[in-house]
Chains A and B, each alone.
Chain A
Amino acid sequence: MFRKAIITLASLTLILAACAPKLPAATEITSGTETPATPVTYTDGLGRSIEMTGSAQRVVSLTPATTEILFAIGAGSQVVGRDTFSDYPAEASTVTDIGGSMGKYNTEAIVNLKPDLVVAGGINPPELVASLETLGLKVFFLSNPTTMDELYARIRIMGNLTGADSGAEKVVTSMDAKAKEVDAKLSGITDKPVVYYELDATPFTAGPGTFVDQLISRAGGTNFGAKMDSAWAQISLEQLLVADPAFIVLGDSAYGETASTVSARPGWDVLTAVKEQKIFPFDDNLVSRPGPRLVDGLEALARLIHPEAYK
């Protein structure tokens, strides 16, 4: 009985697959008036080949990080659509909102904008890329960078795609200069205090493999979450008490967490950072979006952890 059931089940599942979506063939619906140029082929973060003739003039960005990159490299005027959470720079808010909360985008609005390029980010599932391609859109998947050098490469690709190559190069140069300036400021520092970066009051922190982790150590601190086994980890107060961080950085300050709410949490009063009131609200967007502002996040963290270096 049981074996028969399993066999039936397996074959049913296979039939489901057989009638299911074919990988869409990308076809363009419309392209603007472009001067004919030789097509250039790019490989995106999903390993797909994207062929571009000329540079993209009507771009839809699906993540805040890509929106920030596009505006920073000077391709902001080519952005015709952006996701709900793209709130930086301020000009981005005038661009058409195409949804994105709970991962649900407004495909109708995207199609109606007639974009010649849609830039998806690491937070978008491959199914979304496939379904947008079924609608004849050209989609470039910009996978999340894990290091600064990878981010620079991503920014340069955005420059290539939109024809803002020199703007991209400028952004990369100034980011690199700013990061190296921080390194220089901190060159003499040997003391690396433990920093607890809070993502959420439950409490969640950022573990290894995140930019938060990298930026804290580059800013002369020791990330409390570095020992966790996953990138986003829920922690217990016990672990926090043992590590006794010297700094508490509130990435969740936008959600109402402040030095006083943290101090009032039961049991937290014994932490050194609470006693010395080394609790700082922080703009999480500076470190959670893999975009041009990561170096600003780095500098802000360095100023917090080592104010003496910035005297």
Chain B
Amino acid sequence: MSKRFLPYVINLGLLVAAVILSLAIGSVFIAPADLWEILRNWLTHRPLPAGLETYSFIISDIRLPRTVLVLLTGAALGGSGTAYQGLFRNPLADPYLIGVASGAGLGAVLAMSIRWPYSFWGLLAVPMSAFAAAMLTVLLVYIMARVGQTVPTTNLILSGVAFSAFATALTSYLIISSQGEVRRALGWLMGGASQSSWQTVLAILPYLVIGLGVLLMNGHALNLLQFGDDQAQQLGLPVMRTKTVLLLAASLATAAAVSFSGIIGFIGLIVPHVMRLWWGADYRRLLPLSIMAGGGFLILADILARSVMRPQELPVGIVTALAGAPFFLWVLRKSKNQGYW
């Protein structure tokens, strides 16, 4: 096996293992033999033996859509985190740096404070409002940070911080003054894919394909940006346009991911770093590897979230930081690649 493909093989292997674990583990115990029987019958389109219908339904309609949704969310956060870190040339950057999370939080809580009718649109109010508010926040941050024809990175970060503080304060105010929607709002703000279904997966898929697709095509551009804006420009990169496109693509993927799954922290920050420590800083490889690793890592975190306190479920955002931070510190200590950034 050539060394070029080794990282992809390892990441893909981890991802597939995570998916299988996620299908096998749940609050209802399904024996590995039964799981194998169900999967085999699906693949061969044979009718299921009697007694396995409920298990089959649990796997196909509860565990599988949830696993796919979590995979997509993690992939979006991993990919966007990598792009943000490259774009801002800052190791502290994560997908929420310029206000996607705080904007989405405000949108979601705003929608939760209204009693919507039980209808198609009423049920979509929260994710739609979260998505729209997230994208609106990013656009406002971007417009505010503009100086003439350029958008200086420092301005972007500062304007993002200011907008985030403003939106977070409004969110807190809405939660405090709400009539008992606090539990729901907190659950959403800490992240968790309890509203998962195949329709949810289909709803966010187009955004992730567009957002992550654009990022994947810009690996080389991100490499050039690491030399600094001026040098990248001299090397023939349309810096301003590239940065805008990357920013929008990463925000689009993140906003779609959080609109149904809530704010899941930390993953967009550490996954790119772990991948960089393991496989080096070439963005052409870093982007696809981070996308795969983000999906795999979030699936593992989600398994923990729903099994640690069975039958209760933890918000997955708690797990990503609680399990992710020690893991990241371990990788950092083990790495021979100190001062890699």
Do A and B make up one complex?
Answer: yes
B124/A101 in contact, CB under 8 A: no
Number of B positions contacting A (CB below 8 A): 59
Given A104-B194, A105-B194, CB of A231 within 8 Å of CB of B180: yes
> Residue A22 contacts which of B120, B127, B132 (CB distance < 8 angstroms)?
B120
- By a beta-carbon cutoff of 8 Å, the part of chain B in contact with chain A is 26-28, 53-54, 57-58, 61-63, 112, 116-124, 126-128, 131-132, 135-136, 139, 143, 176-177, 179-180, 183-184, 186-187, 190, 192, 194-195, 197, 199-200, 202-207, 252, 256, 259, 306, 310-313, 315
Contact residues in A for B252 (Cβ distance below 8 Å): 12
B184/A2 in contact, CB under 8 A: no
Q: How far is the CB of B48 from chain A (nearest CB, A)?
A: 13
> Residue B313 contacts which of A29, A30, A106, A123 (CB distance < 8 angstroms)?
A106
One digit per residue, 1 when the CB lies within 8 angstroms of any chain B CB and 0 when it does not, for chain A 81-120 equals 0001000000000000111111111111101101000000
Contact residues in B for A29 (Cβ distance below 8 Å): 53-54, 57
Given A126-B122, A131-B195, CB of A16 within 8 Å of CB of B127: yes
A232 at the interface (CB under 8 A from B): yes
- Residue of A whose beta carbon sits closest to that of B206: A19
Instruction: List 9 additional A-B contacts (Cβ < 8 Å) besides A104-B315, A130-B118.
Output: A13-B128, A17-B124, A19-B202, A20-B202, A21-B203, A104-B312, A105-B313, A125-B184, A131-B194
Please, how many angstroms separate the alpha-carbon atoms of A5 and B137 in the complex? 11
Indicate the member of A17, A19, A98, A127 with the most B CB atoms within 10 Å: A127
Given A29-B57, A104-B194, CB of A109 within 8 Å of CB of B28: yes
A147 at the interface (CB under 8 A from B): no
Contact residues in B for A20 (Cβ distance below 8 Å): 124, 127-128, 199-200, 202-203
Given A102-B186, A123-B180, CB of A19 within 8 Å of CB of B312: no
> Residue B136 contacts which of A9, A15, A126 (CB distance < 8 angstroms)?
A9
B143/A2 in contact, CB under 8 A: yes
A59 at the interface (CB under 8 A from B): no
A23/B62 in contact, CB under 8 A: no
Please, how many angstroms separate the alpha-carbon atoms of A231 and B54 in the complex? 42
B199/A108 in contact, CB under 8 A: no
A263 at the interface (CB under 8 A from B): no
Please, how many angstroms separate the alpha-carbon atoms of A230 and B173 in the complex? 14
Please, how many angstroms separate the alpha-carbon atoms of A208 and B225 in the complex? 59
Q: How far is the CB of B187 from chain A (nearest CB, A)?
A: 4
B54/A97 in contact, CB under 8 A: no
Q: List 13 A-B contacts (CB under 8 A).
A: A9-B139, A13-B131, A15-B206, A20-B124, A20-B203, A22-B120, A99-B27, A125-B112, A134-B199, A136-B57, A231-B180, A232-B179, A232-B180
One digit per residue, 1 when the CB lies within 8 angstroms of any chain B CB and 0 when it does not, for chain A 241-272 equals 00000000000000000000000000000000
A104/B58 in contact, CB under 8 A: no
Q: How far is the CB of B137 from chain A (nearest CB, A)?
A: 11
B312/A101 in contact, CB under 8 A: yes
> Residue A230 contacts which of B62, B179, B192 (CB distance < 8 angstroms)?
B179
A285 at the interface (CB under 8 A from B): no
B311/A135 in contact, CB under 8 A: no
A127/B135 in contact, CB under 8 A: no
B203/A108 in contact, CB under 8 A: no
B54/A112 in contact, CB under 8 A: yes
A47 at the interface (CB under 8 A from B): yes
Please, how many angstroms separate the alpha-carbon atoms of A130 and B207 in the complex? 24
